[in-house]
Homo-oligomer: A and B are copies of this chain.
Amino acid sequence: MSYTESLSKLLASADASEGCKLSVKTGGRTYTGLMMPRHDMSAPDTLVLKLDSGFNIGVRMRSDASIEVLEKPVKAVEKTEVPTFKKGLKKLVLLGTGGTIASRIDHRTGRVEPVMSGSEILNLIPEISDVANIESKSLFSVYSDNMSPEHWQKIAVAVAEEINSGADGVLISHGTDTMGYTAAALSFMLYNVPKPVVLVGAQRSSDRPSTDAAGNLIAGARFCVDGNKAGVFVVMHETIGDDLFAVHSGTRVRKMHSSRRDAFRSMNVPLVARIDRDGKIEHLSECRPVSDRKIKADTKMEENCLLLYCFPGMKPESFEDAVMNSKGVVLAGTGLGHVNESMIPLIRKATEAGIPVVMTTQCLEGTVNLNVYNAGREILAAGAIPAEDMLPETALVKLMWILGNYPADATESIMNVSFAGETSDRRVL
């Protein structure tokens, strides 16, 4: 199967090939997108374009069709030699874990594959070598939907090693899907970390002209170098342009859009900082300053924990075995932290069996308050632990960490101490 003769000629005369960004005019309309391989199911006069939205579209090329190449594909970088270190610049380590940021488009399938090493990514961004001396190390390569607590542990150990070996900061390239969970896990495992630890990712693979990887990595590196803030952070686009980058607290950040560059948002707190394209840092909230303390990673996690989202019609019997066979449960209740009253006996049964049940809100913003309504009081009486304004995902990760490192009966008191900014100060009664 191949294109029609006229379409083949048109492509040849425009010097258009797979991976080029094209402007295609036909039938009075103009389409802009990456040229994909011919689709086996498409007619021979149809060109498949990947739009900026990520969607593929089949364009039937009429006799009036014209093609213009807007951009050639970024060539895969061959050189992988370590760049020369520049005197006077701080030393950062880039830990590669996979994800879109380390991916290339496979033009045969139009899909994205994780293949690039950290040095390959850095080689695509030569200007970053003016910001810091960055040493690249690959930990593993997985998309973040497949990250597990075991991966968090490997990352935490590696970060602690690099910081104790003298790194001024650590960048972690990571898939975006579960970046918030990993950031929370590192925030607890690396309690009181003395340097900046910055997760960066991309919503478009690094070999695409439209990639957001470069902007995020450079902003992350600048924050490590000039921010004087210690902790675990996520640095991603604040806007859909390449002009502003947001620094989020690792325990407060959530992916709030499936595809936009500005998908990440700080929930219930202001940004830590904002970085513009010239590297100027606007500080928006307080953090501990950088220090030279040594750290160790407390990486133990109780993996057998559940996050359950509450909904009308939820039947306690559907979840009873899962709850009673777990070591701890986070509920994302409605509103101020409510559940259907039919769920309350299961909460009581779990807590009486020593299985902590933590209450968060599926609103995601605002705080849990179980003292306003009778329903809340009954949930409290059943032994649930209100998690204030902690994100459900962060509460899950924290519960795994508490149960891995502390006796189970200390869960309630530890849950509401803010270890890494994960809850706002508790109010007095």
A residues neighboring B (CB under 8 Å): 39, 53-58, 110-113, 143-149, 152, 175-178, 181-182, 255-260, 263, 301, 303-309, 311-315, 318-319, 321-322, 325-326, 332-341, 361, 363-369, 371-375, 377, 392-393, 396, 400, 427-429
Q: List 26 A-B contacts (CB under 8 A).
A: A55-B369, A111-B371, A111-B377, A113-B374, A143-B338, A145-B335, A145-B341, A145-B375, A148-B313, A148-B340, A177-B334, A178-B312, A178-B334, A256-B365, A257-B365, A258-B369, A259-B366, A260-B366, A263-B363, A301-B313, A304-B315, A307-B311, A308-B309, A309-B332, A311-B393, A321-B321
Least Cβ–Cβ distance between A342 and chain B, in angstroms: 8
Least Cβ–Cβ distance between A187 and chain B, in angstroms: 15
> Given A148-B313, A307-B309, A313-B149, A335 and B369 touching (CB < 8 A)?
no
Closest to A307 in B: B311
Asked if B178 and A366 make an inter-chain contact with CB atoms under 8 angstroms apart, the answer reads: no
Asked if A313 and B145 make an inter-chain contact with CB atoms under 8 angstroms apart, the answer reads: no
Asked if B255 and A363 make an inter-chain contact with CB atoms under 8 angstroms apart, the answer reads: yes
What residues of B have a CB within 8 angstroms of the CB of A374 in the complex?
Answer: 111, 113
Closest to A58 in B: B429
Asked if B259 and A367 make an inter-chain contact with CB atoms under 8 angstroms apart, the answer reads: yes
The A contact surface, by secondary structure, is loop
What residues of B have a CB within 8 angstroms of the CB of A178 in the complex?
Answer: 312, 334
The residue from B144, B322, B336 contacting A334, defined by CB atoms under 8 A apart: B144
CA distance in complex: A193, B239 (Å):
39
Asked if A54 and B263 make an inter-chain contact with CB atoms under 8 angstroms apart, the answer reads: no
The residue from B181, B313, B332, B335 contacting A305, defined by CB atoms under 8 A apart: B313
What residues of B have a CB within 8 angstroms of the CB of A55 in the complex?
Answer: 369, 427
> Given A255-B363, A332-B309, A146 and B326 touching (CB < 8 A)?
no
Asked if A146 and B375 make an inter-chain contact with CB atoms under 8 angstroms apart, the answer reads: yes
Asked if A112 and B335 make an inter-chain contact with CB atoms under 8 angstroms apart, the answer reads: no
What residues of B have a CB within 8 angstroms of the CB of A366 in the complex?
Answer: 257-260, 263
Least Cβ–Cβ distance between A418 and chain B, in angstroms: 17
CA distance in complex: A87, B110 (Å):
65
Closest to A176 in B: B335
CA distance in complex: A62, B364 (Å):
39
